[in-house]
Amino acid sequence: MNISVGDTIPVWEMSAVSAEKMKTMAALLRDPNPLHWDKDAVAALPMDLGRHTINQGPLGLSYIVNMLHAWAGPGTLCHLHMTFPQVVLDNDKVTAKGIVTNIQAGIAHCEVWLEHDIRGRLLEGSAKVLLTEPSAG
């Protein structure tokens, strides 16, 4: 893979974040927080989020990981640090994006984020990605 500083990572889109997948993930994670499956609980918050459910952090992270794996291959992600400045809501169309900021010792240092067309960056952070897939076995 021929990568240079300043290269953009091909985007990865989620056309609509699924409320049903949030409910399933809440069960798998044994997450009792009703914000992930109860629209009334979200509507009661002192924020203007409307009647939605809030996506779990691990699901939002997975969109970033999917982008990085599609770009560099599975097993190449060696570091991911993210912040969550905004929530991801059910039915949001979100796009994972990134840019290579540095290359050092075969590792691409990247700025990565999850973006909503209107609300901007919902998640943002950094990743380190091996530029060659690790050998099997």
Map out the domains of the chain as residue ranges: 8-130
In the chain, the N- to C-terminal Cα span, in Å, equals 21
| 3-class secondary structure, 63 | helix
Q: Which fold has domain 8-130?
A: Thiol Ester Dehydrase; Chain A (3.10.129)
pTM (predicted TM-score): 0.89
CA 87/CA 64 separation, integer angstroms: 15
- pLDDT digit string, tens, across residues 43-82: 999 988 889 999 998 889 999 999 999 999 999 999 999 9
